[in-house]
Structure 1
């Protein structure tokens, strides 16, 4: 079996509790995004995102119409790139002010450091923008974890349920898919990664750890270490 040379991890439900996102990040973005877009609509980065919102909507939109569209996408939990970009910019304010704090399971930071020390390359693949990913890992209770990672991937790479996305990541890493392990709590993502040839590890933080689904199931990152090395 090919030795694992890189590990790609999801965030929500994998490194961090679902509630951190659903009860922390998302409500904060929902409450602050309208005022942020109104205040910053002339900024080049925000203008670009609003242009992408119009492209997805298929028509010209006023700022208020764009805000309404963004909020509707949030309610639908749509993984749309301009929404994720703007959410990340809003969260930056929240982290800077101290209104937001990051949650990580206690096994995550020590195991990430152990993998890094052993020569395994680390990456993140999340539906949140790479900017938001860096914010989350940069504000860890264990300090700034971003130096542990060699790269970050988001929806600009493709949908997390599409095997082609994982093939693109493997190509970007310059590694055969079999040398990459993907960690997630989402079966559809894991199925896509396995179809692309990656080794998969299913993080089951709560509930029964049943088997027979084609993915190794583990409780935490320490057990994931044994799984990726087998």
Structure 2
């Protein structure tokens, strides 16, 4: 059973046969503004039945912001001709697909995604080097003495640079669904991480009333320019 996020602004279900399966489903409007508050998902299904142009644009936004779940689009038979690799999707499902086909496509997409994420990843960004295989992190060549959860939190944020995550999303992704503590533990770990980053604490940015994000060096420079514009 998977946790699915369905993006659809229509009144009728995009994929009727999905209702016959046991997956957990969260449906939100197919609008970028609603994505920040969306919960974590094993797979995302985008309703592209009526507005292919808007659907393609949303797909590109999702992939550009560091999508970490397989993306499937739901289309009619006539919409198939509009699909291309520019959409950046993992699979396509016809609205007429039966429960067995829908379930198989979801399971295969999730399995492929999990295999990709099981491979140890080395992250390098803004002077930070994270080696998942050895659970080590260095900042401009200086080793960081991190606890296991601090490492996981820093690694997760750095894997999705510039993307904003709510405290609830970070709890689910880093601590897991079975964690019963409050969101304050995220704030505590962020504060400890920043202390260990020292003069580079700004790498973990706060988005007021939303959550946290990993700030790339270029983003930090843009923020500084915006705050201190050059004299005319």
TM over 0.5: no
Q: Which structure has the bigger radius of gyration?
A: 2
TM-score, normalization: structure 2?
0.31
Larger strand fraction of residues:
2
TM-score, normalization: structure 1?
0.31
Higher RCO structure, 1 or 2 (CA under 8 Å, sep 6+) = 1
Larger helix fraction of residues:
1
